[in-house]
């Protein structure tokens, strides 16, 4: 079932999104060579709880941390560890969610550790562009698949692989709600978008193949060919007119 949020509910999600944005900005500041992903996770949980919110990911289906920290060829769901020491030249994807007053927000970014190659800088930049190309299609009257088609078209035009086994999702009181939001596919298919729908759109784009594999920990997903992968996500709200409001990027205006 797809839940349509009213104005009061969107206000609650807007507040959750604002808080998550502020926390993600603070996490960016501590990501550096020599830091461990466990330390970043602990800092994220501290920030979330200090603000009166609850980490969405911690204990979700048994997940043991408040963020997902995925390095290089790890696509998503990398488990933070004291053994995972960040090194210059790598990239790190941080995915984080929180619950504030009963409403969810979900966001992710990828950034370089120290000095990274132009190839990786371009991958991160294009992945972010894929989000905005896809989210621009989240217009009342369009179909869900219009989002993924836009993501796929841009990514593949740049020679990248679009991960297909993992998708975005509806979000609201629950972290994962209907509908699923794939990052690929033909346009004009799936549920029709309506004002008040809230979605987490999250392109996962690799330097190589779109195929992935799950690791023995039961969580971490890596690219099958070992190529680096970037991830970028925001929670959005479909509006009556024009492109969506990006709830986890407050103040963003569409060109």
pLDDT along the chain (255 residues), means of 10: 97 98 98 98 98 98 98 98 98 98 98 98 98 98 98 98 98 98 97 98 97 98 98 98 97 94
Q: What is the pLDDT of residue 74?
A: 98
Q: What is the pLDDT of residue 238?
A: 98
Cα separation values, 50 from 100, 111, 214, 229, Å: 12, 25, 33, 32
Residue 47 in any domain: the answer is yes
Residue 237 in any domain: the answer is yes
Contact 17, 96 (CB under 8 A): no
Quote the number of domains for the chain. Answer: 1
Q: What is the pLDDT of residue 255?
A: 86
Q: In the 8-state DSSP scheme, what is residue 61? A: G
Residue 35 in any domain: the answer is yes
Residue 203 in any domain: the answer is yes
The boundaries of the domain holding residue 37 are 7-242
Report cis status (omega within 30 of 0) of the bond before 179: yes
Token pair of 57 as six digits:
């990911």
Q: What is the pLDDT of residue 180?
A: 98
Residue 149 in any domain: the answer is yes
Residue 98 in any domain: the answer is yes
User: Helices marked H in the chain — which ranges?
Assistant: 7-30, 37-50, 118-135, 144-157
Residue 113 in any domain: the answer is yes
Q: Is 60 helix (H, G, I), strand (E, B) or coil?
A: helix
Residue 64 in any domain: the answer is yes
Among the listed residues 220, 118, 108, 111, the one whose alpha carbon sits nearest the alpha carbon of residue 175? 108
Q: What is the pLDDT of residue 65?
A: 98
Question: Domain of 11: which CATH number?
Answer: 3.90.230.10
């Amino acid at each position: 079932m797809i839940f349509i949020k009213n104005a009061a509910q969107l206000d609650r999600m807007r507040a959750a999104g604002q808080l998550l944005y502020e926390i993600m900005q603070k996490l960016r500041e501590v990501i550096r060579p020599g830091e461990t992903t466990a330390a970043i996770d602990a800092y994220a949980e501290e920030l979330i709880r200090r603000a009166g919110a609850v980490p969405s990911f911690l204990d979700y289906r048994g997940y043991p941390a408040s963020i997902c920290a995925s390095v290089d060829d790890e696509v998503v769901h990398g488990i933070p560890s004291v053994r995972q020491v960040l090194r210059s030249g790598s990239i790190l994807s941080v995915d984080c969610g929180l619950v504030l007053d009963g409403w969810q927000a979900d966001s992710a970014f990828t950034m370089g550790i120290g000095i990274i190659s132009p190839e990786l800088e371009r991958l991160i930049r294009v992945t972010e562009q894929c989000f905005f190309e896809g989210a621009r299609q989240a217009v009342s009257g369009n179909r869900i698949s219009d989002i993924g088609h836009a993501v796929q078209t841009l990514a593949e035009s740049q020679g990248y692989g679009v991960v297909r086994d993992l998708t975005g999702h509806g979000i609201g009181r629950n972290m994962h709600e209907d509908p699923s939001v794939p990052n690929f596919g033909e346009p004009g298919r799936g549920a029709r978008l309506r004002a008040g729908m809230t979605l987490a759109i999250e392109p996962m784009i690799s330097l190589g193949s779109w195929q992935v594999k799950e690791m023995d920990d039961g969580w971490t997903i890596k690219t099958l060919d070992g190529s680096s992968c970037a991830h970028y996500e925001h929670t959005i709200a479909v509006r009556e007119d024009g492109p969506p409001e990006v709830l986890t990027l407050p103040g963003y205006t569409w060109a």
